[in-house]
Amino acid sequence: MAISASIQALLAGEQVAGSKLNNKLLDELLAEGMLLVISHGSRKSYLARDTDALKRFLVDKDESYRILEVNVPDSRASMAMETGNSKLATVRSCPGFPINSYEPIECFLCGEPFLVNPQEGSFLFVSDWEKFTIPEDVVIIGIENMENFRMIRKQRELFENYLKTHDFSNRVLFVSRYPQSSDLRRWLCSIPNYYLHFGDFDLAGINIFLLEFHQYLGKERSSYLIPDDIEFRLQSGSRKRYDEQYNYFKDIKSDLFELQQLITLIHREQKAYDQEGYICCNS
């Protein structure tokens, strides 16, 4: 695969006109927060927020982008041994994803018992994720925002009420997609547990769920966590962010009834609401 000149320019830290980017890829990169939008009157150009993160995302998204890592040694350690410089190319030296819980959960890592019970103010990171297993009755809640992920105890009432109302198990493991890669999704696809996505209540947040999780897990194993008071909260949400996202995500739809209702509500209110607003609900 030949990497397009526009992608090479983004990776080089240059601005790229929107007209030069593939529309589908542009939508994905915007949904993932990979790009800064720079307006020039009615025209827009884009700049990578973090070129290393963009390269990792492209490589994890599509094997054909691995041409970006041609001639890259297997690890930073071997690179440093051979050249004295481990920063010559981007290599994923720490695969995996963070996990958190507010109650102890007996799991297994590499075939050995592994108690997930982080002290408040901390969380764990699973790097050998292919050998990480959890009890089948544990519900997995993926939290999109890192602040919400760190402060799960301040949202415990929200989670427990939602799980009880929707007849889910009250045993929960929280996961995060940070740093952005396909590791979390691949792990979710390899286990039978149910996945709830807790993201922003806007079109871009819903798009992330649909593209990154729902299309792989299906309606039988995944849904969006929608609090009972979201209609009230959307009334005080951001009109500006809704307007910014509208052209990119106005046509998204879901086969999940409750999520489609949320999409309809967001369009009706023409507002977006950040999930951080729920952090104080149990403080």
- For residue 153, is pLDDT > 70? yes
Q: What amino acid is encoded at 113 in this protein?
A: P
What is residue 93's predicted lDDT score, i.e. its pLDDT? 57
Spatial distance between the Cα atoms of 11 and 35, rounded to a whole number of angstroms: 11
Domain with CATH 3.40.1360 in the chain: 97-282
Task: Please write down the HEC assignment for all residues of 128-192.
Answer: CHHHEECCCCCEEEEECCHHHHHCHHHHHHHHHHHHHHCCCCCCEEEEECCCCCCHHHHHHHHCC
Question: What is the rounded average pLDDT of the residues 25-51?
Answer: 83
Q: Find tokens 């999780």 and name the residue.
A: 213
Portions of the chain given CATH number 1.10.10:
5-83
At residue 176 the predicted structure's pLDDT band, cuts being 50, 70 and 90, is very high
Looking at domain 5-83, its CATH class is mainly alpha
The pTM assigned to this predicted structure is 0.72
Residue pair 205/198 in contact (Cβ under 8 Å)? The answer is no
Which of 13, 26, 279, 27 has its CA nearest to residue 153?
A: 279
- Distance between CA 193 and CA 212 in Å, rounded? 17
Check if CATH label 3.40.1360 holds for domain 97-282: yes
Task: Indicate the pLDDT class of residue 52, thresholds 50, 70 and 90.
Answer: confident
Sign of the C-alpha dihedral computed for residues 223, 204, 177 and 99 taken in this order: negative
Average pLDDT of every residue of the chain: 86
Give the pLDDT score at 244: 87
* pLDDT tens-digit readout, 98-151: 999 999 999 999 999 999 999 999 999 999 999 999 999 999 999 999 999 999
